[in-house]
Amino acid sequence: MAIEFSSVPVTSRRDFLSRTGAGFGSVALAGLMAQETKAAIPIDSLKPFAERMPHFAPKAKQVIFLFMYGGPSQVDLFDYKPELIKLNGAKVPDSIKKQKDKVGGVFNACKDELMSGPWKWAQHGKSGLWVSSLLPETAKHADDLCVVRSMFSESSNHAPATYLMNTGAILGEKPSLGSWVTYGLGSPNQNLPGYVLLFKVGGLGGSANWSNGFLPAAFQGTHFRHEGSPVLNLLPPEELQPVQRSTLDLLQQLNKRHAQARPGVLDLDGRIASYELAYRMQSEAMEIGELSNETSSIQNLYGIHDKNKDKATFARMCLTSRRLVEKGVRFVQLYNAVDKLGWDGHGNNHEFHQRNSAQTDGPIAALLTDLKQRGLLDSTLVVWAGEFGRTPMMQGGNGRNHNPYGFTIWMAGGGVKAGTQIGATDEIGLRAVEKPQPVKNLHATILTALGINPDDLSFDHNGRQERLTGVAASWKTIPGVLS
């Protein structure tokens, strides 16, 4: 590398603060200086992803969040309901119909007719986990999974429910889970963003799903592509690539002269460093995208050449996520959708679930296998979840409507009690009745696995001490998930 860098050693936080000037280094700093009474986390604006100590020994160090977009149907995948099969075609039992729900109308737009799926159910592994025939590959990992069958959401509408799953609030204005985690812990690799998203079609409601909200902008999710150059503008156009280094060299020479004439303005040094980081990112991120460096057996395990193009796409994302985790990226989130609909089978649930299962089952199972064989599963928390589930009632021809009252998620890997099943929905699979879990409990569980006390991960904003999990002590980790 032709240029050496003036690094700014930071001996202590106080020292750093004292040299930052009037707080235009970063809003985190300015915010901290105004509100030093609160135990917010000090962020070095020059190294926002510098690793920070967790509150206690973590069970997992990294996260891969598999977002199943559109609302996968619990009663067709993991939530085996013999009663529903028996009542196929019958009306909804009165005892269930007459219950009042807080969120909008679950019976709206549904027929008063129960519908069981056409798939076979079987128990798998030593744990005897029920999995439908839609997910034969995932089923082989039955003893790796901890399945929570009693989640509930607070909106039956995609965007608010997706925001809730990603940010803990149904309004799209709060920081996302990945932002909170990287704000709290930084990330092991300083040459890559700490919070990476992989998607062909991102969550409903757009960028608010990976927004940093009021946290410093460095903690916003970065979208990695699954083909070609992994980050937009990672490289200049081809004709400029040969002159990239010499251009940077002049830039940095002039920048240093400029900074030398303005001693003490740390932002100027920070910006010099950011150009060098960008340069290093170019090679490191490019390397991430080189899936051809993987052995052909790994490529085939994931199915990146599968003739089902949607499966191949998702397989590339799954494989890329493993490579990112291997490189030390803290938080990776994948969306499986290839269109606006994902699992959202209103009119034709059968076809949607056939399609999405075929797309995701193999690659996800491969990811679990691969993480395990590399010894990464012990330190990586894998989360599988959508924004809500689907109704056991029929909608349209053979569709199912949104169901925020009871749905299934699973976790695997670091800190998770493998081969367990937690909670239950009612006899038809509509409402969570045994150990019902709000989304904030899932967030609390993820944070706790990472060694973070959810109440201590806070940020003072507009007169409020903001947390992912809301009011202090208003959450519980999902009982039985963490080992």
Partner 1 sequence: MNLMTYIIAGMLVAGVTPSDVRHFTDAVEPVLKAKCYSCHGKDKKSGGLRIDSLKAMLKGGDSGPAIVPGDLKKSLLLEAISFKNPMNQMPPKEKLSDKDIAAISLWVKQGAVWPEEVSVLFDEDPSFLSKLTSGNGKSRILSEGAPSGKIAMGITPLQREGPKIPNWSFLIRENPNEGEFRYLRMAWKKKGEGSIMVELASNGNWPDAKVAKGRYVAGPNTTGWAAVSVGEKAPLDWEFVTMDLWKDMGDFTLTGIAPTCDRGEEAFFDSIILGPSVASLDGYRVEKYPVAVVASSNAPRKNLGNAFTDPENPIRKIFKGERLDLWSLKAPVKSEIPKLKNDSPSFTNIDRFLIFKMEEKGLSPSPKADKRTLIRRLTFALTGLPPTPEEVRSFLADSSPKAYENLVDRLLASQSYGEKWASHWLDIVRYADTNGYERDEFKPLAWQYRNSIIRAFNSDLPYDQFIKNQLAGDELVNATPKDSREADQLLATGFLRLGQYDSTASIFQEEARSRNEQMADLVNTMGSAFLGITLSCCQCHDHKYDPFSQDDHYRFRAFFAAVKPNDALVIESSKELEVINQHNALIDKNAEPLKKSIAILLDTGRQKVIGERKAKFPQDIQALIAIAESARDEAGRKKLQPFLEKLKVADNDAKAALDEAGKKRIEELQKSLAEIEAKKRVARKAMGVSEGGQSAPATHVLFQGDHSQPKNEVQPGFLSVLNPNNVDIKPASNSTGRRTALANWIASPDNPFTARVIVNRVWQHHFGVGLVNTPNDFGYSGSRPTHPELLDWLSVEFMAQGWSIKKLQKIILLSNAYQQSSLQEARKQAIDPDNKLVWRQNVRRIDAETLRDSLLAISGLLNPQYSGKPVWPIIPDELLKAQPGILEAIKGEDGGRMQGWYPDSLEQADVRSIYLVRKRSLPLPFLDVFDLPDGTISCGRRDQTVVAPQALMLLNSPESIRYAQALANRISSLKQSPKAHIEAAFALVLNRAPDLKELDLSLEFLNRHSEKYQSKGVMKDVLALRDFCRTLTNLNEFAYID
Told to check if 235 binds partner 1 by CB under 8 A, we report yes
Report d(CA 142, CA 145) in Å as an integer. Answer: 5
Closest CA to 184 of 45, 325, 46, 42: 42
Among 61, 124, 141, 158, binds partner 1 (CB under 8 A): 158
Told to check if 48 binds partner 1 by CB under 8 A, we report yes
Count of residues of this chain found to bind partner 1 when the rule CB under 8 A is applied:
101
Tell me whether strands 420-422 and 407-413 are parallel, antiparallel or unpaired: unpaired
Told to check if 243 binds partner 1 by CB under 8 A, we report yes
Bridge partners of 411? Answer: 146, 383
Contacts to partner 1 from residues 183-212, by CB under 8 A = 193, 199-208, 211
Contacts to partner 1 from residues 314-343, by CB under 8 A = 337, 339-340
Contacts to partner 1 from residues 69-98, by CB under 8 A = 91, 94
Q: Which stretch binds partner 1 (CB under 8 A): 78-86, 270-278, 349-357, 414-422?
A: 270-278
* In the complex, minimum distance from the CB of residue 280 to partner 1, in angstroms, rounded to a whole number: 8
Told to check if 284 binds partner 1 by CB under 8 A, we report no
Neighbours of 292 (CB within 10 A): 8
* In the complex, minimum distance from the CB of residue 145 to partner 1, in angstroms, rounded to a whole number: 28
Neighbours of 18 (CB within 10 A): 9
CA angle 91, 353, 113 (to 5 degrees): 5
Among 216, 230, 289, 419, binds partner 1 (CB under 8 A): 216
What stretches of 157-265 show up as alpha helix (H) in DSSP?
A: 158-167, 177-185, 244-260
CA angle 203, 206, 211 (to 5 degrees): 100
Among 40, 44, 46, 180, binds partner 1 (CB under 8 A): 46
* In the complex, minimum distance from the CB of residue 418 to partner 1, in angstroms, rounded to a whole number: 34
Helix (H, G, I), strand (E, B) or coil at 268: helix
Integer distance in angstroms from the first to the last C-alpha of the chain? 46
Report d(CA 296, CA 294) in Å as an integer. Answer: 6
* In the complex, minimum distance from the CB of residue 3 to partner 1, in angstroms, rounded to a whole number: 13
Q: Which is nearer to partner 1, 89 or 242 (CB)?
A: 242
Told to check if 5 binds partner 1 by CB under 8 A, we report no
DSSP state of 53: -
Told to check if 105 binds partner 1 by CB under 8 A, we report yes
* In the complex, minimum distance from the CB of residue 185 to partner 1, in angstroms, rounded to a whole number: 17
